[in-house]
Chain A
Amino acid sequence: MTCAELDTQISKALASLPKSPSRARSRHSILLAALMALVPVVVQAQDQAPPELPKKRSWITIPMTTQSGMAGSLAQNFWRILQNDLATTGPFKITQQKVNTEIPIESDLVLATQLVRGLMNPFMILVRVQDPRTHKELYQRFYKGSPALIRRMAHRIADDFTEKATGVRGAAESQLVFEQETRKGVKEIFKVGLDGKELTQLTHHQSLSTSPTLARDGRLAYITYKGGPPEIWGQRQPSGPQVKLFPTGAENPGILLSPAWSPIGNKLAFVMSTQHGRCDVMLLDLDRNRVDQLTTTGRLNTEPSWDPTGTRLAFTSDREGTSQIYVMQADGTSQQRVTSSPTPSSTPLWSPDGMRIAYISQSGARSDVYVFDLKTGSHAQVTRGGGRSLWPSWSPDGRWIAFTRSISGNSQLMVSDLLGRFTRPLEFMAQAGTLQWCQSH
């Protein structure tokens, strides 16, 4: 089949869809329908966008055609993964729709996908996105791959589509980097796809290795106790060997915690015990091979988190009594408190867009994830429903927050939108420790 023929077929598929009536401008819609897969499905966007993003109620139509002779199960599998990606990582919700029924009134995007296999055996998926009101094609793209790569192709297509539809790239391709006990007393660092596939072990020290942090270019750093006292190990170059980064001499730093790569990855913020049991936020400059102490007041200054520009750090400090969240310039100046709850707050995590800081606030047996909005100065509670929610982590697109919820000793990794209305477990992970949610590398 030539591209022209394919184009004609797709056009027919799109034309065969019932036209959506006009509707209010503020609403978007996207519909999923599978022509050959027989079960058309409607994707309904949920009103769950972060406060500053445009609120979308999107319905996406995806008519999916397959060339005759293509394995129907392959198409079904691809379509199922794509649908799940859009439903779980974008602001979309899936509902079933029967063939040839009216496109829901809110529809405003049609996503057509077709699996193509030519004579020379290239495997391709053609994606076309159209506004059903204007019949204007928003974009068309070929994805080359193979049946073995069908999962990755679906993730890529979902993230590209989410980016086109919302302006912010989706997180279907993202990964989780985390620590896990492999046997008693031994923890290693792993990474896994958001779909629970492609688990990879990143450290092999046969020791206690914890607190992973990943730079934007994929370089890993972490704390390891392989030599007895804690040390920071990591990669100086992408895909380079893991080497000791701190301490540079043979000294025992006592307590060493929470390493955090700066966004461009030339500096590491971390926590070290300085004197009299104090813990302070330190800054290791790898280019200049120099360490600076950034905090000097209070006794516990911990859990540094970079803003995405690398100019500021959020951290936890007990300098005014109970632990609260503070921010400072990356050189340690202008230290300011941002939370003032009567109960302790800790574990700040700066959002990828730099507009918010997620943190944990404790109250009795509970601890919950909150989000502080730097622009408005407001605090919003994300988790509800009891138990202890710890270790928040932003999705790379800033739409979601992952956290570990513990209820009566059982831990489960959860993902929630910023308003806490859509929360789901990531069944493959019972995480209870540091985790970083990052772009795939």
Chain B
Amino acid sequence: MTRSLPTSVALAAGFILLGVSSACKKPEAVQQPPSPPLQQSQPQKEIDAKAAADRLAAETARRQQEELEARQRAEQAKALELSQQQALRRSAAEALKDIHFDYDKSEIKAEDKGQLQKISEFMKAYPTANVEIQGHCDERGTNEYNLALGNLRASTTMRFLVALGTPERRFTLLSYGKEKPLCTEGNEACWSRNRRAHFELK
């Protein structure tokens, strides 16, 4: 019962539609302008109309298929890009680790050269990645002095990376001075954490 009811409704609707269209055709035929001299026969006309409708349907289907494929391609590309981005971010998180400085100094320490090597390899593996190098200082000294020192640390770090083969244009420098400490205790353990160059993917 539940299935047959819609079917009968649809049939009824179709019948009504047929009735309406045939009722409409008569006045159309009457109102047609005088036929051209080389008038096609009525059956030929119907064949052409059907062919046109078929072509239209095929065209529509093709277009829909194309759109679907384009969408799929875009989604695939997006997924790929996402996975590439994820990979980039994963690699960045692994490679872009802070390096540290001695008090009031900006020289690269021997123990951090391996770390900068890793960053250099990361920059080569991801040639479109750009990195901001931030220079930070501990809380001692004035803001003015530490802004200058942070800038020097960021710049020294960049020059080391440029020497390892990454073009300078892929880096931007920013000095935070002592404005963004990782910790605020007044002892050497905390100060040495804050005297750093931090790398941020841009």
A interface, CB within 8 angstroms of B:
210-211, 254-255, 257-258, 271, 273, 276-279, 299-300, 302-303, 316, 318, 322-323, 344, 346-347, 360, 362, 365, 367, 388, 390-391, 408-409, 433-434
Contacts and interface: CB of A to CB of B under 8 A. Distances in A.
A302 to B, nearest CB: 5
B144 A300 contact: no
B123 interface: no
Given A277-B152, A277-B159, A279-B151, 18 more contacts: A257-B144, A257-B147, A271-B148, A273-B151, A277-B106, A299-B152, A300-B152, A316-B145, A322-B104, A323-B145, A346-B141, A362-B140, A362-B141, A365-B187, A367-B141, A391-B142, A433-B143, A434-B142
B88 interface: no
Contacts of A318: 104
B147 A255 contact: yes
Interface string B159-202: 10000000000000101000000001011000000000000000
A303 B142 contact: yes
24 contacts: A254-B173, A257-B144, A257-B147, A257-B148, A258-B144, A276-B156, A276-B159, A277-B106, A277-B151, A278-B155, A300-B148, A300-B152, A302-B144, A303-B144, A318-B104, A323-B145, A344-B141, A346-B141, A346-B142, A347-B141, A388-B139, A391-B142, A408-B186, A433-B143
A303 B145 CA distance: 7
Contacts of B152: 277-279, 299-300
A279 B187 CA distance: 28
Contact of A323 (B104, B155, B187): B104
Nearest to A406: B139
Contacts of A391: 142
Contacts of B147: 255, 257
Interface in B65-116: 103-104, 106
B145 A347 contact: yes
A433 B177 CA distance: 13
Contacts of B155: 273, 276-278
Given A318-B104, A322-B104, A362-B140, A277 B156 contact: yes
Nearest to B140: A362
B187 to A, nearest CB: 7
B154 interface: yes
A2 to B, nearest CB: 58
Contacts of B145: 300, 302-303, 316, 323, 346-347
Given A254-B151, A277-B154, A318-B104, A360 B142 contact: yes
Nearest to A280: B148
B149 interface: yes
